[in-house]
Chains A and B, each alone.
Chain A
Amino acid sequence: MGGNAWTILRSLNQERIVLVVAVLIFGAAVIALPGFFTSANLISIVRSISVLGILALGMSVVIIGRGIDLSMVAVMAMSIAWYLQLLGDGMTEHSALLLVLGGVLAIGLLNGILVAYAEVPAIFVTLASGSFVFGYVRSQLITSDAVPVPTGHWVELLGGLRLAGIPVEVYLFAVLSGAVFLFLRFTKWGRYVYYAGDNPVAARNIGIPVRPMLVLRYVLSALIAFAAGLLTAASLHSINTRIVNSTLLYDIVLVAVIGGIGLAGGKGGVRNVLVGAALIGIMLNAMTIIDISLLYQNLIKSTILLFAIIIDGLLNPRDEQTAQQGDI
């Protein structure tokens, strides 16, 4: 009998713990909070975590490959702001989209090349590029903090689109989750992400194109950030660039890390993102219903993130053998 209990205890990894906690909080909220367990509220929960979840998907692919992308929120907000500004200035749809996509690709490539070929720690590269993207777009390309979506534009229509009463971004999140899942699980390059994240030197030695794949991951995360930005603009009918200075970036890391994707790389998958997103979505919704102010929500979220990181650090200690100089 004792053996049985021990097996259950041993099988508790972070993902399962978080899942259990999410279910518990969900149960508690259903019982204690009136208006929580209504279809409208449930849809709003799912909707609120869709964008966060999409961003977390991009972040996860990077983190599994032992990197991090701190420029995601800047790319997300600034690319859309620029896009909308171009449209507002009267540029044609195609050239505006091409121009912005080119810019997004360029930032992804720049991040990837600096990390892969110049061997600069990802955290510095993306911190710097995030700051640069925000500063450059804000000071050179757009004229005000918030840029509205032109009336009647397809982005506006996208925001109003509903299938069976569920907003379109939820479907998009589901589709993207499925795509990333298939990529990571069933494609050769997806498996390479894990190998490269687990031990980059060994991966390189067995002939995996570690460096081009690093670049690919940062390009991927930049493109995902752009998609998330489109959805944000669609639901809000404008994009406020101040979001770059908000805690959104840390929410993304929070979703990934709390779901059990180790920052040391090589671990986790789409399921972890879903679990993490579920917990955070339920929590945020519950806190809003209880009417905890945004300031306290920030404090609570960041404290949870700290504990998530501590637990992650204890579960996935750094491998001093494969750690790089400056990899801090």
Chain B
Amino acid sequence: MTFRERLQAWRYNFVPDHVIGEILSKRWTDNAIPFIALVVTVATFGSLIPGFFKLYSLQESTRQLGEFSLVVIGLTVVMLGGGIDLAVGSIFALSAFAAVSTFFILEQPVWVALAASLGTGLICGAINGYLIGFLRLRAFITTLVTFIIGRALYDILVVAYGSQIQMSMASSDTWDFIGDGTVLGLSVPVLSALILAVIVHIALTRSRPGWHVLAVGGSRRSAHNAGIRVRQTVFLTYVFSGLCAAAAGFLIATRLSGAGPGTGLGLEILALTAAVVGGNSLGGGRGSVVKGLMGAVIVLVMTNGLIRLGYGTGTNQMVLGILLAVAVTIDIRWLKNRHKVLNEVYVAPVYLRMGETQSAVPGSGTPFELNNRLSAADPIGLGELEGPEDVILDREDNLYCGTRHGEIVRFFAPDYSRSEVFAHIGGFPLGLAFDKSGNLLSCVGAMGLYSISPQREVRKLSAETRRTFTSVVDDAVLRDPNDLDIAPDGKVYFTDSTKRYDAYDWALDSIENRATGRLLVYDPKDGSTRTLLDGYRYTNGVCMAHDNKSLFFCESWACRIHRYWLEGPKAGTAECVIRDMPGYPDNVNRASDGSYWMAWLGMRTPSFDLSLRHPGMRKRMARRLPQDDWLFPNINTGGVVKFTEAGEIVATLGDLSGQAHPSVTSMREHKGYLYIGGILNNRVGRYRIEGADTGWTGNDSYWGVRS
């Protein structure tokens, strides 16, 4: 190995590039940018302004923050529902006026003032909600206009009643407490904002109405089709926002004990900037209360900080304008390009030097030498089937296979010309096995381990195992369950080929070549699933040895067969039985003469083997070329190989024509015939094996001869 190659191996096998893609695929990365902005803002202004972090200073500035946060929470909910509410600025002012006038002019108790201001918010919110939700007007322009109307009304009211409010002698301890007091060091506005934030967060993430809001924001039409009352949901978001703004208005009324022409001025653009800077998406569906709160802190610290640092008129508007433009642009670009970025960085190939192999070329004289025997196989279901990855036969000789449409199809003995859909599962049914009582078990790609009773009842057995401690992406989920076999005690041993890709992206896994395949066991007694082995390059076929003391499993991209011991001195360990084969192994099944059949889904090529030694090249390929131009493993030629328990190759079957069975993913011996499946094939092949035991069946071999 050259020094350069060794460097490559270290670079790509020890630097965890794949983690970047996994982190980017997490939703919480959306919070990273606003969070960093938050830390930077607070740190900057905290260090520039003397006494910023003093308790009294914090209590005073957080009062305003509490009121502002209430408004932002309301606006966030509206934005999540796909709308926008600029009217919060005037609702805030109007409800502050309602509270002040009720308290000082009408001299009513505090709770009446609270009710008056909440009522104001409710009415204003309902008007907005009606116009936008039910009349389906444009949210932005409509709330802009209702905002102006509200503001004009407020200006008129303040001019008319302002002096009367100032002359009033009304006072109340409760009123003063709400305005000035603290509970456990927290002022009332902060406390109410916190409580509301927790409630709204739980409501949005864990309650039906909250989900409805997010669904409507995510896609109005889909939400409508799903039976959600879209208009009513939109209506309610505006009502809620109105109430939030009203609560904030009530709080500022108690704090200032008055209402002047400046109350709530510019609040709408502040709140809008806060919600967007926090990372809530325009157009809805994406965002959270936490983001709104982060945005509120950023915007308020920044604007107040600029004032306290003595910058003149206009600076705030300038900074807000920049903030808003930058945040909206980032939001739009990120939403639009996130999946592109993810696609580019997700594939993170590793270095692998494949061992020298023997040739499989016809006439080469090696044990692997391929021939043309499979081209003589009789087709079953030709043209009707799409993707029979695995095939199996029951005790009545009927043939079962999965299809890419998520169905299990049954062909009836003896001539297999009639078929029916035995069961519909969904996903992509791959490996098949019968258990002792005749249930058909299947590893369903992208779904999990399923069982179908003879009465065709589909039941999920397992869809997850235990999550590993260091995983970034949840690896408890079975992304690509591939093949299974069943031990005499009923335990199901099965493989999950990769943690990195979904079942239909198996080809991407071959490019990356990262060892993330697992061998798992499902215990029907307690329904638990455990991971036995981890870290193989695409674990695939599983087969119980004839004596049931061990099992064989394939490692496709490494071209190896391993043996996992269930009993005996080596129990719980795996050893490699066959290495460096010229083909990529798929399923393994028992043969009648005590040996085993193995399917080859494709053949190694010198070019792909070479590319495995150049992970940098594969990375560039995955980034720069369209997928059609990528170098993939060759799956245009495959075959069937027979091997003994000791790992000796005794026979090969191939189809050199490339017509009938170019790529073989499974084969099953039954009464002297071999039934052949291929994941990309349009048929099941039936091949008569010379000199095989014509009475041998898999069911008898596993579960004994039934009398």
Contact = CB atoms under 8 A, between A and B. Distances in A.
Interface string B520-544: 0000000000000000000000000
Contacts of A96: none
Contacts of A125: 325, 328
Contact of A302 (B152, B317, B333): B152
Contact of A328 (B83, B149, B312, B315): B83
A211 interface: no
B457 to A, nearest CB: 42
Interface in B292-321: 311-321
B325 A314 contact: no
B110 interface: no
* B136, B318, B325 pick with most chain A CB within 10 angstroms: B325
Interface string B146-175: 101100110110010000000000000000
A328 B325 CA distance: 16
A317 B149 CA distance: 23
A320 B322 CA distance: 31
B274 to A, nearest CB: 14
Contacts of B76: none
Given A310-B137, A328-B83, A299 B153 contact: yes
16 contacts: A120-B332, A124-B328, A129-B321, A129-B325, A134-B321, A135-B317, A139-B313, A140-B314, A295-B156, A296-B152, A299-B153, A309-B137, A313-B137, A320-B221, A326-B282, A327-B283
B269 A114 contact: no
A125 B332 CA distance: 12
A322 interface: no
Contacts of A314: 135
Given A139-B314, A328-B84, A130 B321 contact: yes
A134 B317 contact: yes
B305 to A, nearest CB: 15
B666 to A, nearest CB: 45
B136 A318 contact: yes
A216 interface: no
Nearest to B127: A306
Interface in B435-493: none
A133 B282 contact: no
A305 interface: yes
Interface residues of A, number: 47
Contacts of B335: 325
Given A131-B324, A139-B314, A310-B131, A305 B221 contact: no
Q: Which of A131, A298, A302 has the most CB of B within 10 A?
A: A131
B220 interface: yes
A263 interface: yes
A9 interface: no
Nearest to A125: B325
Contacts of A124: 276, 282, 324-325, 328
B703 interface: no
Q: Mostly helix, strand, loop or mixed at chain B's interface?
A: helix
Interface of A: 68, 114, 118-121, 123-125, 127-140, 145, 247, 250, 253, 263, 295-296, 298-299, 302-303, 305-306, 309-310, 313-314, 317-318, 320, 325-328
Interface in B251-284: 269, 272, 276, 281-283
A311 to B, nearest CB: 10
A253 B138 contact: no
A26 to B, nearest CB: 25
* Interface SS of chain A: helix
Contact of B140 (A118, A137, A328): A328
B139 interface: yes
Contacts of B146: 306
Contacts of A135: 314-321
Interface string B112-152: 00000000000000000001000111111110111011001
A320 B138 CA distance: 12
Contacts of A320: 220-221
Contacts of B156: 295-296, 299
A313 B135 contact: yes
Nearest to B276: A124
A136 B136 contact: no
A194 to B, nearest CB: 20
Nearest to A111: B325
Contacts of A305: 145, 148
B638 interface: no
A-B pairs with lowest CB-CB distance, top 3: A135-B318, A132-B321, A138-B314
A193 to B, nearest CB: 20
Contacts of A120: 325, 328-329, 332
Contacts of B281: 326
B97 to A, nearest CB: 14
B82 interface: yes
Given A129-B321, A320-B221, 19 more contacts: A124-B325, A127-B269, A127-B272, A128-B321, A128-B325, A130-B321, A132-B321, A135-B320, A263-B141, A295-B156, A296-B152, A298-B152, A299-B153, A305-B148, A306-B142, A309-B137, A310-B135, A313-B136, A326-B283
A86 B325 CA distance: 28
Contacts of B325: 114, 120, 124-125, 128-129, 132
Contact of B145 (A121, A131, A296, A309): A309
Contacts of B283: 325-328
Nearest to A121: B282
A68 to B, nearest CB: 8
Contacts of A145: 313
A128 B144 CA distance: 15
Given A139-B312, A313-B137, A132 B317 contact: yes
Contacts of A139: 311-315, 318
Nearest to B283: A326
Interface string B343-372: 000000000000000000000000000000
Contact of A136 (B220, B221, B318, B332): B318
Given A135-B321, A310-B135, A299 B149 contact: yes
A138 B317 contact: yes
B607 to A, nearest CB: 41
Contacts of A119: 332, 336
Given A139-B318, A310-B131, A326-B281, A253 B141 contact: yes
- Most B Cβ at <10 Å: residue of A127, A309, A327: A127
A317 B553 CA distance: 62
A247 B144 CA distance: 11
Nearest to B306: A139
B472 to A, nearest CB: 29
Nearest to B147: A302
A306 B90 CA distance: 15
A305 B142 CA distance: 9
A118 B221 contact: no
B318 A298 contact: no
A140 B321 CA distance: 15
Contacts of A325: 282-283, 335
Contacts of B328: 120-121, 124-125, 128
B67 to A, nearest CB: 22
Contacts of A127: 269, 272, 324
A120 to B, nearest CB: 5
Contacts of B155: 295, 298
